[in-house]
Amino acid sequence: MATVLITGGTGLVGRHLCKKLQEKGYDVAILSRTKKQEVATPTYTWDLDKKEIEKEAIDTADYIIHLAGANIGDKRWTSKRKLLIINSRVKTGQLIFSKIKEQNKELKAFISASAIGYYGTITSDKIFTETDTPANDFLGDTCRQWEQSTDRFKDLGIRTVKIRTGVVLTRQGGALSKMLTPVKMGVGSAIGNGRQYLPWIHIDDLCNIYIKAIEDVQMDGAYNAVAPDHKTNKEFTRTLVRVLKKPFWFPNIPAITMKLIFGKMSEILLGGSRISVDKIKATGYNFLFPELETALTDLNKK
């Protein structure tokens, strides 16, 4: 079976994807900054500062899935944090490219994460598609540079796929766990005016899209990875409290409060538009969880 090398393999999406690939019979290896003896999956090391990757990692890979990147919503966007967010995505991709070229490696495909932040944090009636240009803000510029580093693999004749991901819903960790805390305390409420859209995707659908990107040789270029069920922040919160059988707290959390707490990072909470999934559906992909209520019900199972 083919070998898939994953950067960011110990992260939220990476762990789930490793498991799904192994269940399908793929050999999976992880690129990590340190050897992780407790991880059952074979681990190779890389060092961005020294521009080094263990040679065997590249030699044995048939596919590379590039998930590495500092968490965008983890800390305030200071100048230092912004630089880390960009470099952890762009420079890591550039390092992989240089090693692929240096070792004259013939990959079957290079598949990289990207984000719907490509379209920016505005709220509008527009439904964004893969043909739209990147937004002129921090997230848009980050995704633009991220994808440009991915596109270089095309020059080596390697099929290249970019997965623009929305908010990933999982049972443990991630954005949903943060949303659950106030809801379980009985103070679930919309943020800002509540009319901004919150494009989301169930972790199983996201991983299946990555697997399809491996197996479907016709897939090439950018694909939005969000569920087809468009929900505003207010609608999302109402659905969440209904599934958890908790009250909906009617006063919205004011935008100014979010700005005071999160600074510029609040933009990702206060803005958002609808994202088209026509392109991924045109490949024949069928969502396991196309509707928010069924997705949340599944994730709320004990």
16 to 7, 88, 211, 246: CA distances (angstroms): 13, 21, 12, 29
Q: Which helix (H) or strand (E) holds 160?
A: strand 160-165
d(CA 29, CA 26): 10
pLDDT of residue 187: 66
User: Tens place of pLDDT for every residue, the chain, 302 residues?
Assistant: 899 999 999 899 999 999 999 999 999 999 988 876 556 788 999 999 999 999 999 999 999 999 999 988 778 889 999 999 999 999 999 999 999 999 999 999 999 999 999 998 877 789 999 999 999 999 999 999 999 999 999 999 999 999 999 999 998 877 777 776 667 666 677 777 778 898 999 999 999 999 999 999 999 999 999 999 999 988 988 898 888 888 776 677 766 765 666 676 666 676 789 999 999 999 999 999 999 999 999 998 85
Q: Which residue carries 């943060």 as its tokens?
A: 178
Decide: helix, strand or coil at residue 33: coil
CA distance 193 to 52: 47
* 8 A C-beta contact, residue 112 and residue 93: yes
End-to-end CA distance of the chain, in Å?
A: 34
Residues in CB range of 154: below 8 A, 6 or more apart: 160
**Confidence at residue 265, expressed as pLDDT on a 0 to 100 scale:** 61
pTM exceeds 0.75: yes
What residue ranges define each of the domains in the chain, with the CATH number in brackets? Answer: 3-166+201-226+275-287 (3.40.50.720)
Q: Please, what's the b/e burial string for 110-125 (b: 16 or more CB within 10 A of its CB; e: otherwise)?
A: bbbbbbbbbbbbebee
| pLDDT on residue 271 | 72
What is the structure's pLDDT at 67? 97
Integer Cα distance of 186 and 183 in angstroms: 5
